[in-house]
Amino acid sequence: MTTICLNEDSNNFVCSFPTSEMTVEGLKKQAQAYATGQVSRVLFNVNAQRACFPSTTMEPIWKGAVFHEDGTVTYEGKPLAPDSMVSTVKHLKLMFDQGIDPYAICLEETRRLKREAWVSIRMNDMHAARDENSIMHDSFWRYHREFRISTYDITSWPGQGYDYAHPEVREYQLAVLQEILERYDSDGVELDWSRFTQHLRAGFELLDAHFLTDFMRKVKALIGEAARRRGHPIRIGVRLPSRPELARRHGFELGVLRDEHLADVVVVTNFFPNTDHDMPMELWREILGKEIELDAGLELGLRTNNHSPFMLGTLETSLGYACEYLHRGADAIYLFNFMRGLTGIQDDAALQQLLSVAGDTQTAYSMKRRHVVSYCTTNYVTIDTKAVLPLDIDDYSYAQIRIHVGGGTAGRNATILLGFQENDGKPPLDIRLNGVPCEETEPPPRVVRGKGTLDMETMSRTDKTASLQDNLLAMPDYVVACRCFQIPAGVLHDGENAIQLLVKKAQTTKVIWAEIDLL
């Protein structure tokens, strides 16, 4: 039986709920919301670049904050913003001052409910990289520019991460791990290498890969010692880029990881904000073998390329990706950013239903689902991971879009939904699935629409004092003109299907959205 794993951000609870919920009971309620349905493992993240607990190794997130009687918070003489960061700093300090460790309580409650309770550690978090004076930055990073991946690129996220070729960086991170192992009793420790993904200098990722491997060997030894002290196994997990070649080119020696069993669990995942719609789980299994648990990482957002709008996923789109990866051999569906709170799915009923059905083929396959084309975002090393969309189609030859729809397709009513620019004139189209013509029909009573874009240029112009949601709501609408095509009975099959597209007259049009829906 496949299962579900869920990752909770270190600050999601404290920035999402009022002060009245910052109690033992409020924390237990949060843990109980996850330890339900088909969830077998909950992972609690305890740090970004700073710690979210009173660490003596890395600085706690509230260090340097000044709390004023009127409820405001300043940092280095300036008002702290946005409101979510103010709540994070205030609430974490409040609880620890009262002797409440939120992560210890959530771990304990999760175990009481007979789920695995893990700690997740971010290995190179680079939020707010453009603002060196942000409260999110640790002094070790701020005052040791020589340890960064790039000493010249001071604006990009990946360029400002730690370069693990430096022994000082590795020793620092091992000390952080040691402190966490001593503080928290857990069933496993996850090293999150995907938040963010660059850990070695550009052009040296392969030459310096042995530094990451050696680091993992030391991690295994430290966790083994902690397991002996605790008297129970502590498993090791890693989150890696979604495709094997990307992981290799980012410095991960996959063969050594497998042969030396440096991890018990490998989660393959896209970088923020959307799920990679075509992670080759079959190839990952061939590389890692059967002894290592292989989990498929899902992200909450929906995007088709680096310049398309950010849209929150829904129950149906999330089930589409889950069904695909269950069919492709994942041992678990791993949910990232699917949280109860402001930074998550923002629909508690949908979240609870997802947790009840998405981890097993018998339940997931029977649901309505949408299989949406997205793209791979872990592309800092410029390997060819070109997005499928937008796609120009013409009257010369059939263009193709491949969509994997998982299993359980027999007897299902299914349609193709395509999105075009609004002014394309609706030219006559020949749309086929696996070579069989599909007749156009009325689109469903919804449109694909979103707010703004999340490309780097746009983000640099947004109001840095506002939340991500507020920035998106302030941007213009992005609307896609949808056209729907009925798939004839018996044509759709389990696994990968080919949509073929041709314009019936001398005209070119652009497909900017594509999905197969099982109704």
Position 384: which residue type?
D
Mean pLDDT of 343-362: 92
The per-residue pLDDT for range 254-278, each reduced to its tens digit, is 999 999 999 999 999 999 889 999 9
In this structure, are 267 and 229 located in the same domain? yes
Q: What is the pTM of this model?
A: 0.94
Q: Could you tell me if residue 378 is inside a domain?
A: no
Q: Could you tell me if residue 235 is inside a domain?
A: yes
The single residue listed with the structure tokens 């196994």 is: 233
Q: Could you tell me if residue 380 is inside a domain?
A: no
In this structure, are 58 and 196 located in the same domain? yes
Mean pLDDT of 169-197: 97
The single residue listed with the structure tokens 């843990």 is: 31
What is the band of 90 on the pLDDT scale with cuts at 50, 70, 90?
A: very high
CATH number at residue 434: 2.60.120
- Comparing 17-21, 136-140, 261-265, 380-384, which segment has the lowest mean pLDDT? 380-384
In this structure, are 124 and 236 located in the same domain? yes
Mean pLDDT of 148-164: 84
Residue 346 neighbours by CB distance under 10 Å: 15
Find the largest Cα–Cα distance for the chain.
73
Rounded Cα distance between 410 and 407, Å, is 8
Rounded Cα distance between 466 and 417, Å, is 34
Range of the domain at 265: 3-372
Q: Which two tokens stand for residue 1?
A: 């039986």
What is the band of 451 on the pLDDT scale with cuts at 50, 70, 90?
A: very low
For the chain, give the mean pLDDT.
90
In this structure, are 186 and 334 located in the same domain? yes
In this structure, are 358 and 423 located in the same domain? no
In this structure, are 224 and 282 located in the same domain? yes
In this structure, are 186 and 311 located in the same domain? yes
**H, E, C per residue of 15-70:** HHCCHHHCCHHHHHHHHHHHCCCCEEEEEEECECCCECCCCCCCCECCCCEEECCC
- Residues 453, 455, 459: CA angle, nearest 5 degrees: 85
Question: What is the reported pLDDT for 345?
Answer: 78
Residue 455 neighbours by CB distance under 10 Å: 12
Of 372, 399, 429, the residue at which a domain comes to its end is: 372
Question: What is the reported pLDDT for 477?
Answer: 47
Q: Could you tell me if residue 384 is inside a domain?
A: no
Rounded Cα distance between 355 and 33, Å, is 10
DSSP 405: -
Mean pLDDT of 4-27: 97
In this structure, are 338 and 224 located in the same domain? yes
Q: Could you tell me if residue 382 is inside a domain?
A: no
Question: How many domains are contained in the chain?
Answer: 2
Rounded Cα distance between 381 and 205, Å, is 9
CA distances from 373 to 4, 279, 479 (A): 22, 12, 17
Position 141: which residue type?
W
Of 372, 407, 430, the residue at which a domain comes to its end is: 372
Paired with 393 in beta bridges are 509
Candidates 400, 395, 267, 254; CA nearest to 334 is: 267
Q: Could you tell me if residue 386 is inside a domain?
A: no
In this structure, are 153 and 264 located in the same domain? yes
The per-residue pLDDT for range 326-336, each reduced to its tens digit, is 999 999 999 99
Mean pLDDT of 27-55: 98
In this structure, are 197 and 331 located in the same domain? yes
Residue 132 above 60 pLDDT?
yes
State the Rg of the chain over Cα. Answer: 23
Question: What is the reported pLDDT for 456?
Answer: 29
In this structure, are 183 and 303 located in the same domain? yes
Mean pLDDT of 149-162: 81
Q: Could you tell me if residue 381 is inside a domain?
A: no
In this structure, are 72 and 151 located in the same domain? yes
Mean pLDDT of 93-121: 98
Question: What is the reported pLDDT for 131?
Answer: 87
What is the percent of the chain where pLDDT is above 90?
78
Size of the chain in residues: 519
Residue 201 neighbours by CB distance under 10 Å: 18
Residue 67 above 60 pLDDT?
yes
CATH number at residue 135: 3.20.20.80
The per-residue pLDDT for range 453-507, each reduced to its tens digit, is 333 233 333 333 344 444 444 444 455 678 999 999 999 999 999 999 999 998 8
Of 340, 372, 404, the residue at which a domain comes to its end is: 372
Question: What is the reported pLDDT for 306?
Answer: 82
Please give the helix or strand (H or E) that residue 219 lies within, else none: helix 209-230
The per-residue pLDDT for range 368-425, each reduced to its tens digit, is 999 999 999 886 655 656 789 999 999 999 999 999 999 999 999 999 999 887 777 8
What is the band of 227 on the pLDDT scale with cuts at 50, 70, 90?
A: very high
E strands present in 261-302: 265-269, 293-299, 301-302
